Structure 1
Amino acid sequence: MTAFAFRPMAEADLSDVVRWLPAGFDLAAARDKYLPWIRGEHPNHLTLILADGHPCGFAWHYRVGDHREYSLATGEPDAIGIDVIVGDPGVGDHAALLRQYLRQVVLTAHPDATRVISSPAADDLSAVRMLTGAGFTPLRDITVFPGEPAETLCAFTVGDTND
């Protein structure tokens, strides 16, 4: 069984992030996007994911109400939003990874949370499967910005378990 651990992301981790993101996203782009998050100048909170002690991906959490367009599209301004990118597909049970991230990071940072949401691309069936395996329920497709692809809004009600 894979042992997962989590720690705040540091600037030195951005070279791994570049490896896990689509081609064309270089270190300069990673610094531009993620350094404000790392420094606490942005409402998203970055976490490095470790599998058996090795970096394998990253995640972030945020109050949905801090992102106006997303809040309007989801109708969930009081929820906590999450996104997870697993860069190494061979790390084991992704649903278990997500359940641990929720318990150890998200709900610790937001102890008053009653709902957690995530909205992968509607055609990303593996992400939807990971979320449902961790106890999320797909609700409906949404579009955050006009002209962008649809996303499948998935919700987890705190107190529901799927361990």
Structure 2
Amino acid sequence: MTGSDLGDVIGWHAAPHVAPWRPGEPDLAAARRKYLPWIRGEHPNHLSVVLADGRACGYAWHYRVGDHRDYALATGEPDAVGFDVVIGDATACGPDLAPAMLREYLRQVVLKAHPDARRLVSSPPTGEAETIRALTAAGFAPLRDITVFDGEPAETLLLLTIGG
């Protein structure tokens, strides 16, 4: 991802199927403040644009769970690699394509960046049923619900063990 992709990020956040899960997401100036440090490598999260048939349709990020203290405590998985995906263009990736897209992102990006990873985690909001179904279809097992920060919505922690 580059800074020129942030306009798309704002648009993807405004998509009707994304907006309920991303309330109060930033305008372009706030997106620059939040994401440019990630893009420049000044933050432990690593961003990528997600492509479907060569067309940008969303973005994803990955990180070592242990680099995020509160998340590591909530998950109990400090040695795992975490990732999140936002597909803003719903026409690019329907329910049948989402698991394959997730597997390819993990194979082509996450596992190349973290070749020693043995456990991958993701934790979408508990109400985000489509994402949970896609992760399960991609091989993840739901473990439990977690809350990272007091007052924030619960998330469903899902785990994929590599080579196991």
Give, as a single letter, the amino acid of the residue that structure 2 aligns with 1:14: L
1:139 corresponding residue in structure 2: 143
Could you tell me how far 1:88 is from its partner in structure 2? 0.7
Per-residue displacement from partner, 1:30-76 (whole Å, max 9, x unpaired)? Answer: 10110000000000000001111111000000000000000000000
Give, as a single letter, the amino acid of the residue that structure 2 aligns with 1:91: A
Could you tell me how far 1:159 is from its partner in structure 2? 2.4
Structure whose residues are more often helix by fraction: 2
Query: Gaps (5+ residues) in structure 1?
Result: 1-8
CA distance, structure 2, for counterparts of residue 46 and residue 112 of structure 1: 19
What TM-score comes out, normalization by structure 1 length? 0.90
CA distance, structure 2, for counterparts of residue 110 and residue 41 of structure 1: 18
CA distance, structure 2, for counterparts of residue 26 and residue 145 of structure 1: 23
2:2 corresponding residue in structure 1: 10
**Superposed CA RMSD:** 1.1
Are 2:88 and 1:96 aligned? no
What TM-score comes out, normalization by structure 2 length? 0.90
Q: Identity of paired residues, percent?
A: 66
Query: Gaps (5+ residues) in structure 2?
Result: none
2:113 corresponding residue in structure 1: 109
Q: How does 1:15-34 map to 2 (within 5 A)?
A: 15-22=7-14, 25-34=26-35
Number of aligned residues: 152
Give, as a single letter, the amino acid of the residue that structure 2 aligns with 1:29: A
CA distance, structure 1, for counterparts of residue 118 and residue 102 of structure 2: 17
